[in-house]
Structure 1
Amino acid sequence: MYGASRCRLLLAAGLALTATLLGGCAARVMPEAQIDTPQPVYLVDHGRHASLVIPHENGLTRYSFGEWRWYVEGRRGARAGLSALLWPTAGGLGRKEHAALEAPPLPARVTPEGRQQVYALNAEAARVEALRRRLDGYHAAAPESPVYSETFGLYFVPYSRDYWAAHQSNLKVVEWLEELGMQVQGSAWLSRWRIVED
């Protein structure tokens, strides 16, 4: 028991040190330079986590990945947050469609938990559509009914991979951006972003 507690404390200290070292770093997002059919997407920085919004002919859809207990069950204390990072726990894929796009480009109602920055990016339309179809398909095929989070304004379904320090919300957004053909360098762990365009 002592050994397990000691390992958790060492891991926590390592995570704290990593976060400190990464404090001045930002993830450098580099969209493709040559795009035949550009399609806008929005990278939303909420301060500690990020989400992705994809406009489409029927409006737009927002996606986010997070720890189930934090996002869905509302367990948001320091202990719960540390627990979510120290070992794998259940993750969830959040999604919600919004019928119309209105000015400003991303209405506040899309992100009820707030946001610090919205980055408008372009990607190849075919890639955007493929990602949207994949995420929508995953969400629709979930064996359990979606659970709505009032705080985040998203419907969550269980995700096939657990949430923890090496697979958290910002790193999942990086995976999605890379799927759209963008390069991401540096750490996105703390949801700090810098867009680099030619």
Structure 2
Amino acid sequence: MEKVYLLKYSTWGHHSLAFYRDGILTEYTYGDWELFALNKRDGWTAWKNMTISSQGALGRKSVRLNPGDSICDKFAGCEVVVMFDAPQDKAENLGKFLKNSYESNSITEVYNSKEDVHFVKYAKPYWGFHNCNHELVDWLELLGGKVTGLVFYKPQLIEGMEPKVLPIVNIQ
């Protein structure tokens, strides 16, 4: 089994996944290109890109973490982190898929300094019926998890995750 981290943010009920290897925690996140990568957070852009299919974005951030370090202190807007065990092969496969997806689109990379995250264009379009929460549920299911409850807005990914996960604030 491999430990995987689910980060919950204050922004629009957003969540992301992170993998801890060799002292480095690497977070992957999905969102709309304009909203997340270009940080155009106005109401018109949000409404337009939730109602009309738009360019998806894959975000990545890597930070060095030592035992006892607070994860949320390293990720702006992070409210809580939960750790869960996933089958080693599934975690490795998802990690490789996300890494390859990011690196194969590196020519499109932009840096969002407000969020301190790098983004590339991602193959899956973003809109109301496939937003960041839907993509994260897909990733969790690839890890063998099952998510119940609403997915569209402020999903209960932490509370609805099977197998159950426990909140953490520090790397173990």
* 1:16 corresponds to: none
Runs of 4+, deviation exceeding 4 Å: none
TM-score (norm 1): 0.74
Higher relative contact order (CA 8 A, sep 6+): 1
State how far apart, in whole Å, the 1-side matches of 2:80 and 2:152 are: 16
State how far apart, in whole Å, the 2-side matches of 1:81 and 1:182 are: 29
TM-score (norm 2): 0.84
State how far apart, in whole Å, the 1-side matches of 2:93 and 2:139 are: 11
Query: 80, 83, 87: which one pairs with 2:45?
Result: 80
- Indicate yes or no: 2:33 matched with 1:68: yes
Q: Over residues 72-130 of structure 1, what are the superposed CA-to-partner deviations in whole Å (9 max), with x where a residue is unaligned? A: 22211111111110111111100122233442452511x12x12222211111111111
- Indicate yes or no: 2:104 matched with 1:149: no
Q: CA deviation at 1:188?
A: 2.3
* 1:160 corresponds to: 123
State how far apart, in whole Å, the 2-side matches of 1:120 and 1:44 are: 9
Query: Looking at CA atoms only, which structure, 1 or 2, has the larger radius of gyration?
Result: 1
Instruction: Could you tell me which runs of 5 or more consecutive residues in structure 2 were left unpaired when the two chains were aligned.
Output: 165-172
Instruction: Could you tell me which runs of 5 or more consecutive residues in structure 1 were left unpaired when the two chains were aligned.
Output: 1-37
* 1:21 corresponds to: none
- Indicate yes or no: 2:100 matched with 1:140: no
Q: Secondary structure at the match of 2:49?
A: helix
State how far apart, in whole Å, the 2-side matches of 1:56 and 1:151 are: 26
Instruction: Please say if residues 147 and 162 of structure 2, whose CA atoms lie closer than 8 Å, have aligned partners that are also in contact.
Output: no
* 2:137 corresponds to: 174
Report percent identity of matched pairs. Answer: 25
State how far apart, in whole Å, the 1-side matches of 2:72 and 2:124 are: 31
State how far apart, in whole Å, the 1-side matches of 2:21 and 2:99 are: 13
**1:78 to 1:105, Cα distance in 2 relative to 1, 3 A:** same
**1:62 to 1:101, Cα distance in 2 relative to 1, 3 A:** farther
State how far apart, in whole Å, the 2-side matches of 1:165 and 1:107 are: 27
User: Across the two proteins, how many residue pairs are aligned to each other?
Assistant: 159
* 1:91 corresponds to: 56
**1:150 to 1:130, Cα distance in 2 relative to 1, 3 A:** same
* 1:46 corresponds to: 9
